[in-house]
Amino acid sequence: MVPTGGAIRSVSGDDFAQTIESNTRLTSGDALVEWQDEFITDPASGLRSVWEAQVVTVEAANTGAYGNGNAAEVTAPAGESRKRMTVIDSFGSFAQTRVYYDLAIDVLPAVGDDVFMVGHRITGSAGSENGYIVVWNAKLTNNVLVYRLVAGVETLLATETAGPQIAADKAYVAAVEIINLGGNRVEIRTAIWDAKLEVEGPNWDTVLVDNNPSSIKTEGQCGFAAPDTVAVQLRSAVKGPVCINMWGITDLDFESTDGAIDVNQTLRTDVSGAYGFLEVPTPNFTGLSVGTLTARATDAFDEYTRNFELDPNPPVTGTGGGGVVDGTFDVDQTVQVTNSQQGGGQGGGSQGGGVINLPPQGGGPFSVTMSIEGYDFASTKWYLILEATEITAGNTNRRLVVAPGISDVSNLAANDGLPYMWRLNMVHGNAAAVVYSAEFKR
């Protein structure tokens, strides 16, 4: 049997070894489950599965013409359970690539089972092909949907929906393997490998959308992610080609929202460089869109995208003392706003926010912290409503959103209201010059 949390690694092929190596390595005599076949012309019918085998040989690298680094094909002991399966593949460079690897699961894992499996497939001799979802060292307990993708068709292998159960240190769940077959070279690119859930169980994150965003930018880990990369599982069904090498993923949509955003439209992606852009529909009629995108994770694809970030929006002209600061500063700056349209059912006056953008910086260490403050005429004092996290590096931005009814998100959003007079306050931690612009939105 494969030991829990135990050794799984590729035993052949440098590229492959690089991507599926996990934890500790197997050695001869270790128990594992193995499936391998080199020349299967029809993956739908040609799958073979072998389980409860033992490693016969472990080769350091692929040397065979057909990539048979660990070609020992073993058979299942009679009567053995098929619940545990590890697929060990081997391949390398091929003059005539015609290699199929696939995953066969005859018995679905049960709740509580440790599941070790790798599924992927390469077809064709040139061009790009889909990769398979890889479920790696996942403990199938809760909130893990495990899919197998064969020839573009997803097959749900296991679904668990209730309660946090994934051990924090073993939640290597649902990475997606991207396979690029170019010429006669086989490459494997992994978006997030050994993705680790940030917290156990349902792992929700939110996206704050304010002020008519034209798009939101995904910052996924597009290839070559290091082990232990923290994957923040967003409440989003990210199924688009969010990065250039995610060919096998199609369609993208958000399922719901807590806020004012109308998400009853499909979000689209634009494959460009290392990023994808998800178009957000026009927000609500008030001209102020404060909400939380809360599309729900529905399958393993979610692990791909670590976070969403709004593209910079055009500044919004306010009333009274509102405005923008833009330049190089070494002392505190403020952007003051007067909500003259507030009250009397006119709406919209108590919600808004601000953004500070820092381009790449030179110079010495610096520190800037942006906050939103309200003004009290009785005491002639400003009082804190929401504060962003400190900025100490360039090429950074911070956004703050305040509105009644939105979800509180530490250092990002406050379920609060903006009074008649409020301001963005940029507090410098030292006298170092910092280049930035800041603007309010309401």
Please report, as ranges, the residues that interact with other proteins according to CB under 8 A.
Answer: 320-321, 338-339, 342-351, 374-381, 383, 404-405, 408, 415-421
Q: How far is the CB of 386 from other proteins (least distance, A)?
A: 12
Q: Which residues of 404-435 are buried (b: 16+ CB within 10 A; e: fewer)?
A: eebeebebbbbebbbbbbbbbbbebeeeeebb
Q: How far is the CB of 329 from other proteins (least distance, A)?
A: 22
Q: Which two tokens stand for residue 224?
A: 């070559």
β-bridge mates for residue 424, sequence order? 335, 372
- Give the strands of the sheet with 175-182, arranged side by side: 133-134, 175-182, 185-190
| Residue spans of beta strands (DSSP E) within 232-271 | none
Nearer to other proteins (CB atom), residue 240 or residue 374: 374
Give every CB contact of residue 116 below 8 A, 6+ residues apart in sequence: 2, 8, 33, 84, 85, 86, 136, 137
Q: How far is the CB of 345 from other proteins (least distance, A)?
A: 6
Nearer to other proteins (CB atom), residue 224 or residue 383: 383
Nearer to other proteins (CB atom), residue 123 or residue 407: 407
Distance CA 220, CA 241 (A): 10
Nearer to other proteins (CB atom), residue 39 or residue 377: 377
Distance CA 341, CA 320 (A): 10
Nearer to other proteins (CB atom), residue 223 or residue 322: 322
Distance CA 407, CA 418 (A): 15
Q: How far is the CB of 339 from other proteins (least distance, A)?
A: 7
Sign of CA dihedral 194, 117, 204, 240: positive
| Residue spans of beta strands (DSSP E) within 116-220 | 133-134, 138-139, 145-150, 153-159, 175-182, 185-190, 196-197, 207-209, 215-220
Q: How far is the CB of 420 from other proteins (least distance, A)?
A: 4
Nearer to other proteins (CB atom), residue 344 or residue 360: 344
Nearest CA to 102 among 128, 126, 125, 130? Answer: 130
Q: How far is the CB of 257 from other proteins (least distance, A)?
A: 16
Q: How far is the CB of 404 from other proteins (least distance, A)?
A: 4
44 phi and psi, to 5 degrees? -65, -35
Sequential DSSP letters for 278-305: EE-----TTS---EEE-PPP-SGGGGGE
Beta-carbon count within 10 A of 274 CB: 14
Nearer to other proteins (CB atom), residue 97 or residue 339: 339
Beta-carbon count within 10 A of 54 CB: 15
Give every CB contact of residue 345 below 8 A, 6+ residues apart in sequence: none
135 phi and psi, to 5 degrees? -110, 120
Give the C-alpha distances (Å, rounded to integers) separating 264 from 216, 284, 380. 16, 12, 45
Nearer to other proteins (CB atom), residue 321 or residue 327: 321
Q: How far is the CB of 15 from other proteins (least distance, A)?
A: 51
Q: How far is the CB of 331 from other proteins (least distance, A)?
A: 20
Q: How far is the CB of 373 from other proteins (least distance, A)?
A: 11
Distance CA 368, CA 244 (A): 34
Q: How far is the CB of 277 from other proteins (least distance, A)?
A: 31
Rounding to the nearest 10 degrees, give the CA dihedral for residues 400, 406, 409, 411: 20
Nearer to other proteins (CB atom), residue 19 or residue 351: 351
β-bridge mates for residue 437, sequence order? 326, 357
Q: How far is the CB of 425 from other proteins (least distance, A)?
A: 15
Nearer to other proteins (CB atom), residue 132 or residue 422: 422
Nearer to other proteins (CB atom), residue 182 or residue 405: 405
Nearer to other proteins (CB atom), residue 108 or residue 427: 427
